Amino acid sequence: MLLMIPGPIELSPAVKGAAALPAPSHVAPELVAAFGRVLGGMRQVWRAPEGAQPFVLAGSGTLAMEMAVCNVVDPGDAVVVVDTGYFSARMAIMLERRGAQVQLVSAEPGHTVAPDEVEAALQQRPARAVFVTHVDTSTGVRADVQGIARVAKAHGALVVVDGVCATAAERLDQDADGVDVYLTASQKAVGAPPGLAMLVASPGALAARAQLSHLPPLSMDFDAWRPVMKGYESGSPSYFATPATSLILAADAAFADLNASGVEASWSRHQATADRMRAAWQHLGLTLLPHDEAIAANPLSAIRYPDGVDASFLAGVRERGVVLAGGLHPKRKTQYFRVGHMGWVTTRPDLLAATVRAIGESLSDAGHRGDIDAAVVAVAG
Ligand SMILES: *Cc1c(COP(=O)(O)O)cnc(C)c1O
């Protein structure tokens, strides 16, 4: 089975090998070295500013989101949430539970929010922080994080970006773009198994934690984890809560893959893959949920079902050995499906071609005709 969903994803042989090793102790020398390399690797992939702190916790992307919320926002703080779909809505719920005053700036499914709209919201009411989902995995839309961050900074707001799915697949320079928290999870474009929450906090975000009047839960407190992360990076481990040691070994292999050719190469490969996949969708007579290709995300495609086809066609794709995902946006769920094309598969045109062929043939079974051979050539070259 070929796992072509927007995470978890197919893993490289090196990552699979590392994940299969016996779980080391949290203070074993090989684990300490691997943990240190993961944190250093994050600094490179994120392009973290001087004085930033990377964190890796056992947990999923949702934990990383909550960790960001409760370390930079106090109850009563005003915040802006750029709402592009399912995951921004989740962020807003977390902020409400933290007691923040949440102002949503919302886009219709398949659309994004312009920096001007964020500017207008900030002019109406200053905010402590602006929250953005880099790639909204529910709609396949990419937000203009750079433009939104510029506006937020000009209004003195912190910038928190949910990069789950986007990190390593979409251009982002945490330092140059002025992003205070950039967070992700191991199972998306980073290319490791699920189970690690990853986050880099800028000096501004760390200062926000220091100034909180209501402390975050201990298990996700920047200040509780900082000495542990610093310890791993300097080669002297200390215990606070047991890290997911097997996953750290797998993440170490994933970052070694990423940093061997550099994050720039990873961004370009994801862009080129997305371009080829979009050419294939055209040959198959398919259209995207994002209303404009310029905002269509690189790590996945959200594709409308053509007339006469519905979610039952996904079973035909699975029978051909490829697993896809259904729709996720509550307003449009039944109208589209999703294909992940991130991580290791971006180095394997043969697997991308097998995916396109399985989709083309199943559509054909459902009565929708496209040019399957042309679509396969578009991805396989
Ligand atoms: C997958 C995803 C999440 C949630 O991550 P989990 O690991 O499932 O908790 C959050 N935000 C975005 C944009 C995602 O793609």
Judge residue 214's burial from the number of C-beta atoms within 10 Å of its C-beta, 0-12 exposed, 13-18 middle, 19 or more buried: exposed
Q: Is the pLDDT of residue 215 over 90?
A: yes
| Residue 185, ligand 1, Cβ within 6 A | yes
> Who's near 348: CB < 8 A, 6+ residues apart?
none
Q: Is the pLDDT of residue 372 over 90?
A: yes
Q: What mean pLDDT, rounded, does the chain reach?
A: 97
Q: Phi and psi dihedrals of 338, rounded to 5?
A: -130, 140
- The structure tokens listed for 110 are 């398949």
Q: What pLDDT does residue 376 have?
A: 97
Contact 335, 343 (CB under 8 A): no
| Residue 282, ligand 1, Cβ within 6 A | no
Q: Is the pLDDT of residue 381 over 80?
A: no
Report pLDDT digits (tens) over 29-76. Answer: 999 999 999 999 999 999 999 999 999 999 999 999 999 999 999 999
Q: What pLDDT does residue 151 have?
A: 98
Which residue, by CA, sits nearest to atom 2 of ligand 1?
A: 164
**Å from CA of 308 to ligand 1 middle:** 31
Q: What is the mean pLDDT of residues 150-158?
A: 98
List beta partners, residue 103.
80
Atom of ligand 1 nearest to the CA of 135: 13
**Å from CA of 130 to ligand 1 middle:** 18
CB pairs under 8 A, 24+ apart, for 105-108?
105/80, 105/81, 107/82, 107/83, 107/141
Report pLDDT digits (tens) over 226-239. Answer: 999 999 999 999 89
- The structure tokens listed for 63 are 């934990």
